[in-house]
Amino acid sequence: MYSRIAGCGSYLPEKILTNHDLEAMVDTSDEWIFKRTGIRQRHIAAENENASELAFQASKKAMHAAHVAPSDIDLIIVATSTPDMIFPSTACILQAKLGIKNCPAFDMQAVCSGFVYALATADLFVRSGKSRCALVVGTEVYSRILDWTDRGTCVLFGDGAGAVIVKTSKTQGIISTHLHADGSYHKDLAVPGSISGGKVTGNPHVVMEGNTVFKFAVKVMSEMVDEALTANNLKKSDVSWLIPHQANIRIIQAAAKKLGLGMDRVVVTVDRHANTSAASIPLALDDAVQDGRIKKGELILMEAVGGGFTWGSVLLRW
The set of catalytic residues is: 112, 245, 275
C-alpha–C-alpha distance, residues 73 and 95, integer Å: 10
**Contact yes or no for 87/46 (Cβ under 8 A):** no
Please name every residue paired with 8 in a beta bridge, in sequence order, or none if there are none: 164
**Phi, psi angle pair for 290, to nearest 5°:** -65, -35
Amino acid at 259: L
User: 259-280: buried (b, 16+ CB within 10 Å) or exposed (e) per residue?
Assistant: bebeeeebbbbbebbbbbbbbb
Chain-centroid distance, C-alpha 103: 23
Q: Which residues contact 272 (CB under 8 A, 6 or more apart)?
A: 40, 41
